[in-house]
Amino acid sequence: MSNEAELLAPDIASIVEHKHSLEPLQLRQVFGQFATGVTIVTTGSDTGEAVGMTVSSFNTVSLDPPLILWCIDKKTGCFDAFDRCKHFAIHVLSEQQDELSSLFARRGVDKFSDLGYHMNEYGVPLLHEYCARLQCTLTARHEGGDHVIMVGRVDAMHTQDRAPLIFHRGHYARIA
């Protein structure tokens, strides 16, 4: 081992130790300082059931080809449906949809009753109300700790002239 490598080795070990000493609640609070948009991601289950969840970990990746990504917690109740899906839709929520976001963040409730939506040709539920909607084909899954990073190619997109819903510091916000 070279002298330079010997000097770096203790630093790497201390970084690894430090990484594991981060408190999850404090880390969540720090991450919460980053304001994000709010989305609902939908897909169809193997049995044709509409599946959806609220997601704030959505981002654009590429314009050519048109790629986006979002992340799903492996412990989420609908993880299996998304882990097996080939197609999904991202619905960027408008500022009037905070109650819808809260509904899709809950477990054990019928999220689609009393909701305007239709199924596309791939069995993906498409909400009728949104700020923007992207219909995607899954192109890659990547391990990301306790989450899986889902990458999708945008096949179709639509917008409605509405202001977006924002999430910051654990609360919904609106653009002033």
Q: Is pLDDT above 90 for 89?
A: yes
Q: Is pLDDT above 50 for 112?
A: yes
Q: Is pLDDT above 80 for 169?
A: yes
The confidence band for 20, taking pLDDT boundaries of 50, 70 and 90, is low
- Quick one: which of 118, 69, 116, 127 has its CA closest to 93? 127
Q: Please say whether the beta carbons of 69 and 150 come within 8 A.
A: yes
Alpha helix stretches (DSSP H) within 22-70: 24-31
Helix%, strand%, coil% for the chain, nearest 5 = 25, 40, 35
pLDDT at 84: 96
Q: Is pLDDT above 80 for 6?
A: no
Least confident window among 16-20, 37-41, 78-82, 101-105: 16-20
Across the chain, mean pLDDT equals 89
Side-chain-facing half-sphere of 79: CA atoms under 13 Å = 12
With 0-12 / 13-18 / 19 or more C-beta atoms within 10 angstroms meaning exposed / middle / buried, residue 128 is exposed
List, in order, residues 6 or more apart from 56 with CB less than 8 Å away: 36, 37, 38, 39, 167
Could you tell me the residue ranges of all domains in the chain?
36-174
- Quick one: which of 129, 175, 142 has its CA closest to 67? 142
CB count within 10 Å of CB 146 equals: 9
Please report, for residues 106, 141, 160, the alpha-carbon distance to residue 129 in angstroms, rounded to integers and kept in the order given: 19, 28, 8
Least confident window among 23-32, 45-54, 128-137: 23-32
Highest CATH level, class, for 36-174: mainly beta
